[in-house]
Structure 1
Amino acid sequence: MSVMTFLLLVLGVTTLSEGRSVVFENRRIDTVWVGALGSAGGGTPKGGGWEMRPGSLVTIDMDDPWAGRFWGRTGCLFDGYGHGRCQTGDCGRRLQCNGTGGQPPATFAEVQLGGWGGQDFYNINLGDGFNIPITIEPIEKQGGSDHYRCNPASCPTNINALCPPKLRSDGGCKSACLAFNTDQYCCRGRFNSAQACRSSSWPRNYPAFFKGLCPDAYSYPFDDHRSTFTCEKTAYRIIFS
C-alpha cells in the first residue's frame, strides 16, 4: 500500500477556509470526464466529477489541508440527469462520483495538501493499472537537485499500446493484482511486507513493465521510495495527455 493510499484511508482532514488552486488541463484529442475522491472529512470538489473537452482548463480552489485522488474517465455517455457509464474509470455509472472511487484499471493522481510538517505529498499511482497518461506538477515552485522535490510526477507514456496480452482490458491495462488476484501479486496474506513482496521474485515481474515506461509512477505495493514527491505552499497542475 502506498503512503498516499494509506493517507486516503485513515486521514481525517479538517476543512479550513483558506486553500490552494489545482488547475486541470485536458491536452488530449478526446473528452475526459474527471473523477475526484476526497478522504474522510475532506470534501470532494465539484461533486466528484466533471467534463473536460479537448484543450479545456478547469481551476478549482481546494481546501488546505486536503487529501484525495483524481483520475480521467474515458468513453463516457451520460443523460441529462448525469446517469450513464464510462468505458474506463467509471464511478457508479454517474457523472458526479459523489464519494465513489474509480473502477480500475485507471491512472490515479494522488495528492495530500498540507500533510505531515506542512508538506504536500503527491504521486501517480499505477497500482490499479492504467488508462490514460497523467502528470501532476507544482506551478509556483521548481525542484532542485532532489528529483522528488517540487518536480513533476508523471506517467506520460501510452501504456495501453504496449500492454502485455494477459493484462489487457477494454481501454486500459490492468495491474498484475487486478488481472490475477493472487496473494503474491497483490502483496497480501503472507506476502504483506516489503521483504516478502518483491516483484523481482514474482513468476513475472509485471511492475518492471510499468516502471520501465513510467519510472516516476507507483507501480505496486511497497514502491513508495521511488514514486512519492513532496513540495509545499504551491498550486498544482494536473494534465491529461
Structure 2
Amino acid sequence: MRGIQNFLILVLLLLISGSKLSECARIFTIANYCRETIWPAITPGESFDGGGFALRTGQTIVFTAPIGWVGRIWARTGCNFDRNGNGSCQTGSCGSSLKCTASGKPPASLAEFTLAAVDYYDVSLVDGFNLPLVVTPINGRGNCSVAECDADLGRNCPAELAVRGGGRIIGCRSACDVFDTDEYCCRGVYGNPVTCDATYYSKRFKQACPAAYSYAYDDPTSIFTCSGSDYVVSFCSSRRQTVCSYHHNNLVCSGSMGLRPWWMMILAFIVTSALWKI
C-alpha cells in the first residue's frame, strides 16, 4: 500500500513540476505563406539546421532553441544555390552560403529574440523591409502580444528607398542604409534615445506597421515580453491568421490556452483524491 502511495506522490510532484520542464527550451515554428519559395536565415544557427534552408510555399519547419539563445530570423528571397549550398539571393543575403553565419544584407525584415526567464522579442524594420513578417507567441504567460509587420511596404515604398528586381519592387531600404547620415542612423550626437527621434521615413514605416521597430530607439511600442512560450514566425501572413505549434504532443493554436494545463489540474485532482482514500 505504501508503494502505491509513494508512486502517486511521485506522479503528483511530476505534474506540479511539469510546467517548469517547458521553460528549458522554446519551440519555434517557421512558416512560409508567401507565393514563392523563401530561404529563412537564422543567426546564431546551431539550433536551426545550421542557420539556413529552403522553405516552399505552404511549408513549415520546427526547431527547438535553448534558453539563453539571442538571435534573429529573417527571410532571403530570389535565391539560387547549387548542390553544395553556394549561391546568391536578391534580398537578405548573408554571403554566398545557404547556411548563415553572419547578418543579412539590407533590406530585410527581422524577427529578434532574447530567450530567458522572460523572453524579449520584436519585429524590426531598422534594416529595411523585404517580406511581411509576424511573430506569434503561443501557450505563454504574460503580455505575449503579436509582433508584426503584415503590410506589404514594397507597394508604398518611397521611390528613393525602393529596391527593384525582375521588373518589380522586391524590398524597401531604410533611410540609414540609403543616406548614411547620423540622424537617420542614430549615431554620433544622435546616438541616444533623447536626440534620435522618428524621421519622415520611419514614420512612414510606423504608420504601415505600428507593432514593429521603425528606427533604432522605437522601443516603447515595438518590443514585447512573454514567458515559457512557443513562437510561430510566419512570412507573408496576417496578424489575425490562426497559427499552431506542436507542443508536448499537443497541437496548440493561437487564441487557445492549450489543453495541457487543464489535464494537469484534472490528473492532480485524481491523484489527490486517491491519496485521501489510501
Q: For this structure pair, what is the TM-score category when the shorter chain's length is used for normalisation?
A: 0.7 to 0.9
Paired position in structure 1 for 2:148: 154
Question: Of residues 51, 65, 76 in structure 2, which corresponds to 1:48?
Answer: 51
SS in 2 for 1:178: helix
Deviation at 1:224, TM superposition (A): 0.8
Does the 8 Å CA contact 1:134/1:238 hold for their aligned counterparts?
Answer: yes
SS in 1 for 2:92: coil
Q: Which structure 2 segments of 5+ residues have no match?
A: 1-22, 165-169, 237-278
Question: Residue 212 in 1 paired to residue 214 in 2?
Answer: no
Paired position in structure 1 for 2:171: 172
Query: Quick one: distance in 2 between partners of 1:44 and 1:21?
Result: 11
Paired position in structure 1 for 2:41: 35
Higher helix share: 2
Of all paired residues, the percent bearing the same amino acid is 41
Amino acid at match of 1:182: T
Deviation at 1:151, TM superposition (A): 1.5
- With the length of structure 1 as denominator, give the TM-score of the two structures: 0.83
- With the length of structure 2 as denominator, give the TM-score of the two structures: 0.72
Deviation at 1:141, TM superposition (A): 3.4
Query: Quick one: distance in 2 between partners of 1:193 and 1:18?
Result: 35
Does the 8 Å CA contact 2:141/2:228 hold for their aligned counterparts?
Answer: no
Does the 8 Å CA contact 2:206/2:212 hold for their aligned counterparts?
Answer: yes
Larger radius of gyration, structure 1 or 2?
Answer: 2
Deviations 1:151-201 (CA, angstroms, capped at 9, x unpaired): 2101000101110011111321011100100111111111112221122xx
Deviations 1:19-65 (CA, angstroms, capped at 9, x unpaired): 22100111111001000012xxx845211101100000100011112
- Structure 1 runs of 4+ with >6 Å offset: none
Deviations 1:61-117 (CA, angstroms, capped at 9, x unpaired): 1111211000011000000100000000001111111x2111101000001111xxx
Residues paired across the two proteins, number? 209
Amino acid at match of 2:114: Q
Amino acid at match of 1:134: L
Matches within 5 A, 1:53-92: 53-92=56-95
- What is the aligned-residue RMSD (CA, Å)? 1.6
Amino acid at match of 1:215: P
Does the 8 Å CA contact 2:47/2:65 hold for their aligned counterparts?
Answer: no
Paired position in structure 1 for 2:26: 20
Query: Quick one: distance in 1 between partners of 2:155 and 2:80?
Result: 24
